[in-house]
């Protein structure tokens, strides 16, 4: 049953599960019990939860809050793009194939996972299979580097920069809601550590004898925002392969969780595994992705247990497992 969630702080049920009060007549939904054991940290955490504000003080539901709750409970959600971002999405998809090879070679910075990168430079996290797509990445923090190249004056680059601002605003807002939900004392900053990636699955790549064009994996980030041009993405809620069908409504993107959020939430928010299925047809497919990574130049403690966690180590291990260089 669909349910819109009131913005309620987590409270603890008798079995130790974190319970989220639900708006309407559905009752309550529970996410799995904490794994930290009945130690001082947990007792401290319980005391914090019991200090939660009464329901009467809770504000009305909002889209970003709903999305945050859905990510906490089920690891995936959808969100509406602003109309301007939707227009930019199609502009980028239209312009990408026309970029000359020479431009792609000039605007390529694989040492920082930026610019144009050909198929073969990224591979599956767990199997080593090459991902059957070309990539075009854009890092907001590298704008001054980009400005040294004529490509930064192109319509594609400008549209990418604008699109990134839209998806960043969505990601930032949802993460702030998640942090607020957990009563986090420290702010989360993802502005200069996150990046956009255009994945181009060319039509010649769709007929190879592989079930997945990109194997099952989780991204190793906080969250990932994905807007594909056609079907192919599958996610694995509760381990079951589930197709993601978005293009009935062209302004919808899907958002999924990654293992950095798992680490920060003391294991409470699991990462959403996903893959790209092979259609076995000569049909090109593109996917615009925003990988949301926290500032890795500062220390972190977990949101619930307040334990120190080495996010840089976790993030780098994952990022490099795809064939990329270290993040920081
Ligand atoms: Fe992924």
pTM, whole model, 2 decimals?
0.81
Span from the CA of 43 to the centroid of ligand 1 (angstroms): 36
How far is 268 from 251, CA to CA, in rounded Å? 30
Span from the CA of 85 to the centroid of ligand 1 (angstroms): 21
Span from the CA of 291 to the centroid of ligand 1 (angstroms): 9
Phi, psi values for residue 253, rounded to 5°: -115, 160
Span from the CA of 275 to the centroid of ligand 1 (angstroms): 7
Which residues in the chain show pLDDT less than 50? 1-56
Find residue 312's DSSP bridge partners.
Answer: none
Span from the CA of 255 to the centroid of ligand 1 (angstroms): 11
Q: Per residue in 162-171, pLDDT tens?
A: 999 999 999 9
Q: In 58-206, at which residue ranges do the beta strands (DSSP E only) sit?
A: 76-80, 108-109, 114-117, 134-139, 195-201
Span from the CA of 233 to the centroid of ligand 1 (angstroms): 9
How far is 257 from 74, CA to CA, in rounded Å? 9
Beta sheet of 212-217, edge-to-edge order: 212-217, 274-277, 233-235, 242-243
What is the reported pLDDT for 122?
Answer: 62
What is the reported pLDDT for 236?
Answer: 97
Span from the CA of 272 to the centroid of ligand 1 (angstroms): 9
> 20-51: buried (b, 16+ CB within 10 Å) or exposed (e) per residue?
bbbbeeeeebebeebebeeeebbeebbeebee
Span from the CA of 3 to the centroid of ligand 1 (angstroms): 27
How far is 273 from 111, CA to CA, in rounded Å? 26
What is the reported pLDDT for 38?
Answer: 33
Q: Give me the sign of the Cα torsion angle 307, 310, 312, 314.
A: negative
Span from the CA of 52 to the centroid of ligand 1 (angstroms): 35
């Amino acid at each position: 049953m669909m349910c819109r969630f009131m913005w309620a702080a987590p409270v603890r049920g008798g079995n130790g599960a974190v319970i989220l009060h639900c708006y309407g007549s559905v009752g309550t939904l529970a996410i799995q019990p904490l794994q930290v054991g009945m130690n001082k940290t947990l007792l401290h955490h319980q005391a914090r939860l019991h200090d939660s504000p009464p329901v009467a003080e809770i504000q009305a539901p909002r889209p970003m809050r709903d999305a945050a709750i859905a990510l906490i409970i089920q690891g995936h959600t959808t969100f509406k793009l602003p109309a301007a971002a939707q227009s930019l999405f199609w502009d980028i998809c239209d312009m990408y194939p026309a970029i000359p090879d020479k431009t792609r070679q000039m605007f390529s910075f694989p040492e920082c996972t930026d610019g144009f990168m050909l198929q073969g430079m990224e591979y599956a996290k767990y199997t080593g299979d090459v991902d059957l797509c070309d990539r075009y990445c854009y890092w907001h923090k590298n704008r001054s580097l980009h400005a040294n190249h004529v490509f930064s004056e192109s319509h594609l680059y400008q549209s990418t920069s604008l699109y990134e601002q839209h998806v960043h605003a969505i990601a930032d807002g949802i993460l702030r809601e998640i942090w607020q939900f957990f009563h986090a004392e420290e702010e989360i900053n993802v502005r200069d550590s996150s990046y956009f990636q255009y994945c181009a699955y060319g039509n010649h790549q769709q007929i190879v004898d592989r079930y997945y064009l990109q194997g099952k994996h989780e991204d190793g980030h906080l969250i990932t925002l994905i807007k594909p041009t056609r079907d192919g993405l599958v996610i694995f809620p509760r381990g079951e392969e589930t197709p993601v069908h978005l293009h009935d409504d062209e302004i919808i993107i899907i958002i999924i969780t990654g293992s950095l959020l798992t680490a920060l939430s003391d294991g409470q928010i699991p990462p959403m595994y996903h893959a790209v299925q092979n259609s076995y047809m000569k049909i090109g497919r593109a996917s615009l992705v925003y990988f949301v990574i926290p500032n890795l130049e500062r220390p972190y403690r977990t949101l619930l247990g307040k334990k120190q966690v080495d996010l840089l180590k976790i993030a780098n291990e994952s990022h490099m497992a795809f064939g990329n260089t270290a993040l920081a």
